[in-house]
Amino acid sequence: MSKAGPIVGGIAAIVISALVFLVPFAFIILTAFKDRAQAAALDFTWPASFNLWTNLVEVVTTRNWMLVTAFINSTILTVSSVTLLVVFAAMVGFILARRKSRWNPLVEFLILAGLMIPPAVVPTIWLMQGLGLFGKLHGLVLIEVAYNLPFSIILYRAFIATIPRELDEAAIIDGARPLDVFFRVILPLLWPVTVTNIVVQSVGIFNDFTNPLYYLPGNQNATVQLTLYNFQSQFNTSYNLLFTNILLITIPPLIVFLFFNRQIVAGMTAGAVKG
Amino acid sequence: MAGLDLKDLRKNYGTVEVIKGVDLSIDHGEFVVFVGPSGCGKSTLLRMIAGLEEITGGELWIGDRLCNTVEPRDRGIAMVFQNYALYPHMTVYDNVGFGLKLAKTPKAERDRRIREAARILQMEHLLQRKPSQLSGGQRQRVAIGRAIVRQPEVFLFDEPLSNLDAALRVETRMEIAKLHQDLGTTMVYVTHDQVEAMTLADKIVVLDRGVVQQVGSPIELYQRPANLFVAGFIGSPKMNLLPATVDAVEGDIVRVSSRDLAATAIRARSDGLKKGDSITLGVRPHALVPNQNGNVVGQVALVERLGNETNVSVRLPGGTPLMVVLDGDRALRLGESIILGFDPAQALLFDQSGVAREPL
């Protein structure tokens, strides 16, 4: 028992995780292959006929190629939000770790508040309208940056504290101006945390459903997650198309995860222990 | 051509004063070493010269420019750090050339100067490596190379050898001395190792608690320490400091004695001294020799035989330990009684305020 225990436990854990993660995915794939009638049954059966291509064409062309627009919107949203997040969070983390001032406690309180206090939707919409940013893609970029900044800052700050201050000083003696110190010396050294930030935040923002729903109304502005909502209401019996759509928009985050899996774990723990 | 002039330089952290008014003048081409125990402010003073610490008061002149608020890059200085501070993500070539790149030096000129520095330091074969692939000594060399390419007026070294092992430290010390000869620039060097200070310096500055205790050539500091602190700090093993009492003052001859010390007459500046004053007698371990007519008697407490010399720790009747370094190898038994003498001309007197009473 003493030797078999861990092995049995391990196998059980693998089987359970496989069930939890792979079964829903298998269900999505199977349903995406079915025709409309069979998909409506929502059961775990082998597709009677293979309709993936027709489903794909229909999903992509529906509503005047809305999915394509959505992919473009989501890409712009994700890339610009994550870029701003990485740059700003690293800058804030750098200053917090390096320059001790009496403002630090306040800034740290605000960061924690940003993590803990749930965002209020209606006042935010009111503010965005006042600024003329409501329903604009760049407005949503700013919202995503604001919501996700605290988490990114916390990831960065712990790591920057482990970079010796002499590096900054050596760069200053070498003639680096503050922005040179940050972009040429510090930011390249933050690469492990930056990868973690890129993956975690880009998947989160790409998969975000509620914020685009609240702050970015209108067909022209749809992001990929909103196309699901449209499909469900329009084809509430066309589960084959809905699941084909799910399959399509799951692919980009999945690829990101497969490629950066290892680095994410490294980055999560990188700041924790002085190496 | 640049010397340094420090005029009443001060540094406060809040209400704590760490540098308490340093006046110092360093000529062009001089090798100056700041020594002192940890926390004496020597590194802070160096960082103030570099521009990494703000100057609270006083004036810092580099060459003929007042540099109190000048940016570090415009001071014409280069600095070598204790932990090397190489940029880990750059190759040695880029590390050395980083400053030139920032200064927008043309690429051909940059390349020429990097290779020139690499040649001086014999590290041409390391140029394409990353710092993590180098040994400690090689890293230190790259750090020095990074300083050389900037062609500074003043080199600043912050304990550059303290992370190296003993053998490499001696070797690198000689390289730095040679570098100083070849380049002929002003160098300011901080260390707590007095051997480095004695061997490298044209001029040593001894600091304690933010105050300059004495400035002078290494031999001057060894032979004529200005006060008890310098006497105890410079020289290894430390100078023996024996408490004594003034028996008589006759012109510039002061007669002293104590429980541990038979009456001894020493030439000293005697103004203000009178019979009955307590006084401290300083005598170097190397100045003491076994002598049947000597004036110190004690028991051998510990013997360290090094072959070329023998370090003997002697316990005096009053309980004061006395360190003696004898030439050659001596077989002494523990507990054995030993009579020691010294040439009064090699002894120094320090009055109650700790100031040396040098004979005039």
Q: Determine the residue among B48, B73, B154 to mutate to test chain A binding: the one whose Cβ has the most chain A Cβ atoms within 10 Å.
A: B73
- Beta-bridge mates of residue B305: B310
Cα Rg, chain A, nearest whole Å: 23
Instruction: Tell me the nearest-neighbour CA distance from A165 into chain B, angstroms.
Output: 9
Residues B227 and B254 grouped into a single domain: no
| CATH number of the domain where residue B53 is located | 3.40.50.300
The pLDDT of residue A266 is 62
- Nearest one of B9, B27, B25, B40 to B213, comparing CA atoms: B40
How buried is B205 (Cβ within 10 angstroms: 0-12 exposed, 13-18 middle, 19+ buried)? buried
Out of B73, B83, B89, the one facing A175 most closely (by C-beta) is B73
- Inter-chain CB proximity A185 and B87 less than 8 Å: yes
| Mode of pairing for the β-strands spanning B203-208 and B211-216 | antiparallel
The beta-carbon neighbor of B79 closest among A173, A176, A189 is A173
Residue B281's domain comprises 240-350
Structural domains counted in chain B? 2
Per-residue pLDDT tens over the stretch A135-177: 889 999 999 999 999 999 998 988 888 888 889 999 999 999 9
Q: Kindly list the residues from chain B whose CB atom is less than 8 angstroms away from the CB atom of residue A170.
A: 79, 81, 85-87, 146
Partners of residue A166 in chain B, C-beta under 8 Å: 81-83, 85
A59 pLDDT tier (thresholds 50, 70, 90): confident
State yes or no: pLDDT of A235 exceeds 80: no
Confidence band of B2 (pLDDT split at 50, 70, 90): confident
Band the pLDDT of A193: cuts 50, 70, 90.
Answer: confident
- Nearest CB partner across the interface for B102, out of A174, A188, A191: A174
- Cβ–Cβ under 8 Å, residues A50 and A110: no
Q: Which residues of A touch B (CB under 8 A)?
A: 164, 166-167, 169-176, 180, 184-185, 188-189, 191
**Minimal CA–CA distance to B30: which of B234, B198, B181?**
B181
Q: Could B73 and A176 be called an inter-chain contact, meaning their C-beta atoms sit closer than 8 Å?
A: yes
- The answer to the question of residue B181 being in a domain is yes
Among partner residues B52, B83, B99, which is closest to A174 by beta-carbon distance?
A: B99
Q: Which residues of A touch B78 (CB under 8 A)?
A: 173
pLDDT of residue A90: 95
pLDDT of residue A88 exceeding 90, the answer is: yes
Domain boundary among B218, B233, B248: B233
Residue of chain A nearest B78, judged by CA positions: A173
Percent over 90 (pLDDT), chain A: 40
CA distance B85 to chain A (A): 5
Alpha carbon of B155: minimum distance to chain A alpha carbons (Å): 11
Inside any domain, residue B154: yes
H/E segment holding residue A229: helix A224-234
What pLDDT, on a 0 to 100 scale, did the predictor assign at position A273?
Answer: 39
On whether both B220 and B276 belong to a single domain, the answer is no
- What residue of B is the nearest CA neighbor of A166? B85
Phi, psi of B129 (to 5 degrees): -90, 160
Architecture of domain A66-270: Orthogonal Bundle (1.10)
**For chain B, which residues lie within 8 Å of any Cβ of chain A, measuring from their own Cβ?**
50-52, 72-73, 77-79, 81-83, 85-89, 98-99, 102-103, 146, 150
Residues of B in contact with A180 (CB under 8 A): 102
Amino acid in the structure at residue B93? Y
- Summarize pLDDT for B289-317 with one digit per residue, the tens: 998 888 899 999 999 999 899 999 999 98
Q: Do residue B208 and residue B249 come from a single domain?
A: no
Last residue of a domain, one of B233, B261, B284: B233
Q: Which domain-ending residue is among B200, B233, B266?
A: B233
User: Is position B358 within any domain?
Assistant: no
Secondary structure in 3-state letters for chain B: CCCEEEEEEEEEECCEEEEEEEEEEECCCCEEEEECCCCCCHHHHHHHHHCCCCCCEEEEEECCEECCCCCHHHCCEEEECCCCCCCCCCCHHHHHHHHHHHCCCCHHHHHHHHHHHHHHCCCHHHCCCCHHHCCHHHHHHHHHHHHHHCCCCEEEEECCCCCCCHHHHHHHHHHHHHHHHHHCCEEEEEECCHHHHHHHCCEEEEEECCEEEEEECHHHHHHCCCEHHHHHHCCCCCCEEEEEEEEEEECCEEEEECCCECCEEEECCCCCCCCCCEEEEEECHHHCEECCCCCEEEEEEEEEECCCEEEEEEECCCCCEEEEEEECCCCCCCCCEEEEECCHHHCEEECCCCEECCCC
- pLDDT tens across A219-233, in order? 788 888 888 876 676
Residue of A nearest to B155 (CA): A173
* Whether residue B291 is found in the same domain as residue B200: no
B359 occurs within a structural domain: no
Burial zone of B67 (CB within 10 Å; 0-12 exposed, 13-18 middle, 19+ buried): buried
B73–A189 C-beta distance less than 8 A: no
Examine the domain organization and report whether B218 and B309 are in the same domain.
no
Decide if pLDDT at A38 tops 50: yes
Residue boundaries of the structural domains of chain A: 66-270
Q: Do B301 and B166 belong together in one domain?
A: no
Residue B327, in any domain of the structure: yes
Residue of B nearest to A186 (CA): B87
User: Looking at residue B272, what is its pLDDT?
Assistant: 84
Contact flag B102-A188 (C-beta cutoff 8 Å): no
Rounded Cα distance, B296 and B263, in Å: 10
Same domain, B222 and B86: yes
Say if CB B11 and CB B56 are below 8 A apart: yes
* pLDDT for the residue numbered A265: 64
Q: Which residues of A touch B86 (CB under 8 A)?
A: 170
Average pLDDT over residues B221-244: 91
Residue B155 has pLDDT above 60, yes or no: yes
User: Is residue B280 very low, low, confident or very high in pLDDT (cuts 50, 70, 90)?
Assistant: very high
User: Is B360 domain-assigned?
Assistant: no
The confidence score (pLDDT) of residue B269 equals 87
Q: Are residues B264 and B211 in the same domain?
A: no
Split at pLDDT 50, 70, 90, the class of A2 is low
Q: Examine the pLDDT at A272 and tell me if it is beyond 50.
A: no
Write out the two tokens for A6.
């861990």
* CA dist., res. A111 & res. A154, Å (int): 8
Average pLDDT over residues B116-131: 90
Query: Dihedral of CA B128/B134/B137/B140: which sign?
Result: positive
Domain contains B247 = yes
For residue A190, give both structure tokens. 């933050």
User: CATH number for the domain including B294?
Assistant: 2.40.50.140
CB contact under 8 A, A166 and B81: yes
Neighbouring C-beta atoms of residue B150, cutoff 10 Å: 23
pLDDT band at residue A271 using 50, 70 and 90 as cut-offs:
very low
B262 lies in the same domain as B177:
no
**Tokens coding A247:** 């399959």
- Retrieve residue B262's tokens: 């038979």
Give me the mean pLDDT over the A57-68 stretch.
85
Give chain A positions within 8 Å (CB) of B83.
Answer: 164, 166
What is the distance between the alpha carbons of residues A116 and A119, in angstroms, rounded to a whole number? 9
> For B161-216, how does the pLDDT look when each residue is reduced to its tens digit (9 = 90+)?
888 888 888 888 998 999 999 889 999 999 988 889 999 999 999 999 999 999 99
Rounded to the nearest angstrom, the minimum Cα separation between B208 and chain A is 25
Residues B49 and B65 in one domain: yes
Q: In terms of domains, do B213 and B248 share one?
A: no
The arithmetic mean of pLDDT across residues A28-49, rounded, is 86
User: Does residue B150 sit in the same domain as residue B261?
Assistant: no
Look over chain B and give the mean of its residue pLDDT values, rounded to a whole number.
Answer: 90
B355 occurs within a structural domain: no
Our CA-based measurement puts residue B166 at a distance from the nearest CA of chain A, in whole angstroms, of 24
